[in-house]
Amino acid sequence: MDPNQVRQKLGLDTGKKTVFIFAHIFWDATFFWGTDLFENYETWLCDILRVAARSDHMNWVVKVHPANVVKNKRDGLGSEHGEIEAIHKTLGDIPDHIKILAPESDISTLSLFPLMDYCLTVRGTIGIEAASRGIRVLTAGTGRYDGLGFTTDFDSKETFLETISHLQDLPEMTASETELAQRYAYGVFKVRSIPISSVGFEFRRDSTAQLETWIDVENQEQLMQSKDVALIGDWITSAEEDCCRWDIDN
């Protein structure tokens, strides 16, 4: 979607910089991947919203995680998403400079990057994607890509909250920081992945996200001789923490 269309659809003030808050699903197990500045994902979100409410010199956009749609469908829930409930509970009437991007929205995350000046996440994958595009990322937890030189990290929630209240004072990402993020993204998304060819699987692109699988070999012998199975086996027997394919063109 064209950036101007997205900006108009969200109702953003073109004279202000824009902060995107990528809300985590409150029940997501990724909270236990490292050390966190906040007690939980909900506290992190609500504390940010309180800062945002008094910071109308910026556009603030809360992107609610799209997995909520699948979870509600799977569990037969018709209630409001937990993150949206927390937003209304914290803010009451939502100020004009704060926008909510619902999980049902047809706006792709890829369409948001041209509008994004700052990205707030605890440790979401979006932090890698945004930083590799030269967008300043502020984390609130360890365990994934913090401390590698391309994110802004913190030792306390007080420092985190103080910093986001003055985001305009942060310098833009340097070319070297962006390159670091791009190198890391290449390693995570390309080098560490093993393309699966003998067995296929795909999630339906609807609210059910039902997993569909199929087999592209005729028998067990062909399966065991498949390159992807051999790569997985080699990695398991190597006892290496990461699987790194440096010959990704082969």
pLDDT by residue (tens digit) across 182-197? Answer: 999 999 998 888 888 8
> Are 73 and 138 found together in one domain?
yes
Residue bearing the bigger pLDDT, 198 or 61: 61
Distance CA 34, CA 182 (A): 23
* Number of helices (H), then strands (E), in the chain: 9, 7
Please name the residue that has the structure tokens 């692109």: 205
Residue bearing the bigger pLDDT, 126 or 229: 126
Tell me, yes or no, whether 215 lies in a domain.
yes
Distance CA 180, CA 127 (A): 13
Rg (alpha carbons) of the chain, rounded to whole number: 20
Please, which pLDDT band fits residue 83 given cuts at 50, 70 and 90?
A: confident
Distance CA 97, CA 16 (A): 10
> Are 14 and 124 found together in one domain?
yes
> Are 118 and 227 found together in one domain?
no
Residue bearing the bigger pLDDT, 1 or 66: 1
Tell me, yes or no, whether 185 lies in a domain.
yes
Q: What is the mean pLDDT of the chain?
A: 88
71 pLDDT more than 70:
no
Q: What is the pLDDT of residue 250?
A: 46
Tell me, yes or no, whether 104 lies in a domain.
yes
Range of the domain at 203: 199-238
Tell me, yes or no, whether 27 lies in a domain.
yes
> Are 64 and 166 found together in one domain?
yes
Tell me, yes or no, whether 243 lies in a domain.
no
Tell me, yes or no, whether 158 lies in a domain.
yes
> Are 56 and 174 found together in one domain?
yes
Q: How many domains does the chain have?
A: 2
> Are 223 and 170 found together in one domain?
no
Confirm if 117 and 104 have CB atoms less than 8 A apart.
no
DSSP letter at 152 equals B
pLDDT one-digit tens code per residue, 158-173 = 999 999 999 999 999 9
